[in-house]
Amino acid sequence: MREFLEKLQEDQRRMRKFLRSHALHFKRMGEVLANVRLGGGRVFVIGEPPLDGIATVVAEEYFAFLPALPLRLDRPRPDSVDDESEPPATVREAAARQAARHFHRGDCLVAFLHEADDRETRMVLERARARRVRILIVAGLGAKNAETKRLAKVLLALPTRGIKTVCESCFVCARIMARVARAAFRGSGEDEERLVQISCETCNELVFFEESLRGRRVTCPLCEAKTLVPRSAQRRGERAAALPAAAPLGAPLPGRRRLKPSVMELPTLDSEDLEDSVDDADAEPPEPSSADLPEELEGIELGEPRTRAQKLEGQPSEAHAGLASTAPARPPSWEGPSFGSDIRVGSEVVSVASGDLPGGAGRGERAEAPAEPDPFAYEEAYLAGPKPTDSGEASEASSDQGGELPVSRRVSARFTAEECALRWGRGGFPDETGPVHALVRLDPGGLTFLLNPDDEACGTLQEGDELFVRLEIPAFLEPILVRGLLEDIRGISGKSSCEGARAQLRFQAMDAGVRRKIERAVDNMEAAAT
């Protein structure tokens, strides 16, 4: 019993990690469901056998606020499906044809797949895509293929294959999708309850219509027969005696504990809830900053700050040619680097004498005072700081009269691929706490890395997966964030260990700044290798 509970706890921990890494997928699914609801479309739910039984539960319980309609292909075959020119269809095929006739542009189809090998379910998905219906798919690893990716607008591939774990994960994902869609729908300011639920007089199925159609005869979206919307039809979830007369709709019942709001709604704190809140009208103005001045400066009026041009005008210019200069002498050991626009990674920085400057220093121009180079002042700067003056390297640089600086004073220290840290994720870029993978090779078009055997998600990698890579290079202040497609992966067989496995990634479209960083890093590593 203890081993079973430990195994269950481990599975839940892996599932939580998977859900956190795919937050972007759930956000997109929730937004699609909310947009369909706001646009007046319908939401259909279908499950591939043996997951077809969960479609009704998800549609009537989880997606009740949308609302959603379940598609069951095991119903009796309707007589109006078969065409005289076609051979008689089976029960499931006839039900698939009948269900596909109700799709219209603007609707949404949520599908739960196990292996994606059911012919009738794929027929429904193909016809839904042909009618421009937005398809959201939650599938196991067995259903993750190129055909499924082509059909789905958003595909969420679960990290499991067994039918029991896939079924449990589908319920969890459906609940998250419903919460995100409800939060997005309420954030739009629309009324959530504007549909009524009735039972069709012909097919005896639960359908939904606008509240304004009460007392009219409408067409059933399932059997296409005429049915009457009673004037006494109630909204879904409406109770006869739920609230007192004075209580507003949606308020909690008296004596019942009010639940915490959803974290997806992110409510703001009201001003009356703050204990120490002070009205802006009653608040005392802040004391002026002049109250903190010393006593000897009190009473002195401070003027406006001078601009850079005014400061330069007030400074005495350098002495003319032929006269003795009164400016402080430059330290003999200082050698200021000159950064040019065509400098490359690993190139040496050479100081330029004042006599070599264009125009010379003896034409009356004022020479700028030397300043230490600031690596943080340059865009995409490398980590290269000045060395202390008392170090041996600085003394070596001061004694060298040939103009060539030591390696420590170059733009950046050269590095190798082993010194870089690589992290990857799905659905979003990982943080600095994820497992580190060893970088093997880096080029402007992609990279190759070794999988970390301690990373549990390595066993779920397949060719064609989109990965979000965080590449930390010692020469850059910030990590490089880039997306890519997994082209090749070797060394993984099923659920075995990923030790020694090698993966090859090809970069997708990136901006000019990221491309320039990668090219500089490649040049630096090639220079270090030579």
Measure CA 376 to chain center: 28
Question: DSSP state, 456?
Answer: G
pLDDT at 104: 86
Q: How far apart are CA 83 and CA 519, in angstroms?
A: 63
pLDDT at 284: 55
pLDDT at 27: 92
Give Rg (Cα) of the chain. 35
Q: How far apart are CA 461 and CA 356, in angstroms?
A: 59
Residues 6+ apart with CB under 8 A from 73: 46, 52, 91, 92, 95, 96, 99, 120, 121, 124
Residues 6+ apart with CB under 8 A from 237: 64, 193
Q: Which residue has the tokens 């690993």?
A: 346
Q: How far apart are CA 234 and CA 226, in angstroms?
A: 20
Measure CA 231 to chain center: 47
Q: How far apart are CA 144 and CA 114, in angstroms?
A: 9
CATH number for the segment(s) 2-81+90-187: 3.40.50.10490
Q: How far apart are CA 110 and CA 119, in angstroms?
A: 17
Q: How far apart are CA 360 and CA 513, in angstroms?
A: 36
CATH topology of domain 417-529: Thrombin, subunit H (2.40.10)
Helical residues (DSSP H) of 53-113, grouped into ranges: 54-57, 91-100
Type and span of the H or E element at 149: helix 146-151
Residues 6+ apart with CB under 8 A from 502: 440, 448, 449, 450, 451, 489, 490, 491
Cα 327 to Cα 366, 369, 525, distances in angstroms: 11, 10, 44
Secondary structure (3-state) at 25: helix
Q: How far apart are CA 134 and CA 132, in angstroms?
A: 6
What is the token pair recorded at 60?
Answer: 């009537």
Q: How far apart are CA 155 and CA 135, in angstroms?
A: 9
Q: How far apart are CA 126 and CA 157, in angstroms?
A: 19
Q: Decide: 450 and 487 in contact? Cβ < 8 Å.
A: no
Type and span of the H or E element at 134: strand 134-139
Task: Say if strands 437-443 and 421-425 run parallel, antiparallel, or are unpaired.
Answer: antiparallel
The pTM for the full model equals: 0.40
**Preceding omega of 67 cis (within 30 degrees of 0):** yes
Domain positions in the chain are: 2-81+90-187, 195-228, 379-413, 417-529
Which residues of the chain are modeled with pLDDT < 50? Answer: 79-82, 189-192, 239-281, 289-291, 317-327, 331-412, 495
- Find the length of the chain: 530
Q: How far apart are CA 506 and CA 496, in angstroms?
A: 25
pLDDT at 446: 93
What number of other Cβ atoms are within 10 A of residue 391's Cβ? 11
pLDDT at 41: 85
Secondary structure (3-state) at 473: coil
